[in-house]
Amino acid sequence: MASQYQQYSAVRKYWHLMRPHTLTAAVVPVLVGTATSKLFLLGSEDHLNLPLFLAMLIACLLIQAATNMFNEYYDFKKGLDDHTSVGIGGAIVRNGMSPKLVMNLAIAFYIIAAILGIFIASQSSFWLLPIGLVCMAVGYLYTGGPFPISWTPFGELFSGVFMGMFIIMIAFFIQTNNLQSLAFWVSLPIVITIALINMGNNIRDRVKDKESGRKTLPILIGKNNSVRFLGFMYIVAYLLVIYIAFFQPGGSIFYLLALLSAPMAIKAVRRFKRNDTPQTMMPAMAATGKTNTFFGVLFALGIYISALLGGI
């Protein structure tokens, strides 16, 4: 019985190390990009390439998990993580995992993702290799290197663009072997919802981050303005869905399914307004992740239903 508990505890440590609540930020763009590609695969012999979809999905999950591990490693090395830290991070300081093991796991995940990337490129275009390498480099440089992106006001922008837009465009391209403007447009709301996960994290951690020398956006503009910005950008994301549904070629009323996630976004904003300590803002932080998940899955579902009903 004790042995089973120890095994369960070990599995939980590794699971928490990957920060599972963030992994949907890797899943959602693949779903949206692939669903959008279905709009342009309407011939009787044109079907989604399932092996490429699965390879893309697994590669993105591995890169996201590895990025979280790099974050874990460098936050520990730079003294940002200690026993007072809140959140699902802290595998090194709270769960006793060795820094070397965390780094080695991240590298192993990157290697597997690179192998999957080679397979994807071999089935579509080798031009994807340098693009994939740039995305992986950004994942590492987000917290690694001499000038970590996460220490600047541009963390939200980088996470949104590289995790949202780039993944959607690649997922679309590997299915269709071309790019369409609709893929760009549908990526914009996802860029926003992913970026706001990052912003929620930075709002929560702004006091400790400032003490450590970081200059994130919430540190520069303050908590109240950050929460206002969070709410404004959620409004922009939903307005973009409405614009795409009615004013872009290929748009459909089914895209409006994404609007059903609005109560979760409202909940995130209200929780940030009401609370001001890292611990009490944890539910608000979780709500930003859930908003991205529900928004993205509903958006992808609406796009896919439109494709099944005839699409463009």
- Residue 62, token pair as written in the block: 């591995």
CA dihedral of 207, 208, 213, 217, whole degrees rounded to 10:
-50
- The answer, yes or no, to whether residue 44 has pLDDT greater than 50, is no
98-119 tens-digit pLDDT: 888 889 999 999 999 999 999 9
Residue 110's CB is within 10 A of a number of other CB atoms, namely 22
List all residues 6 or more positions away from 69 whose beta carbon is below 8 Å from its beta carbon.
17, 18, 102, 103, 105, 106, 109
How many whole angstroms separate alpha carbon 236 and alpha carbon 174? 29
Helix (H, G, I), strand (E, B) or coil at 310: coil
Based on the number of CB atoms within 10 Å of its own CB, is 32 exposed (0-12), middle (13-18) or buried (19 or more)? buried
Ranges of each domain in the chain: 23-308
**What percentage of the chain carries pLDDT values higher than 90?**
70
pLDDT value for 20: 78
List all residues 6 or more positions away from 208 whose beta carbon is below 8 Å from its beta carbon.
80, 85, 278
176-184 average pLDDT score: 94
pLDDT value for 191: 97
Question: Which CATH architecture does the domain made up of 23-308 adopt?
Answer: Orthogonal Bundle (1.10)
Q: Which residue from 187, 188, 170, 222 is spatially nearest to 60, judged by alpha carbons?
A: 170
How many whole angstroms separate alpha carbon 24 and alpha carbon 218? 23
Q: What is the 8-class DSSP label of residue 45?
A: T
Band (pLDDT 50/70/90 cuts) for residue 82 is low
Q: Are 216 and 226 in contact (CB under 8 A)?
A: no
| Radius of gyration, CA atoms only, the chain | 20
Band (pLDDT 50/70/90 cuts) for residue 18 is confident
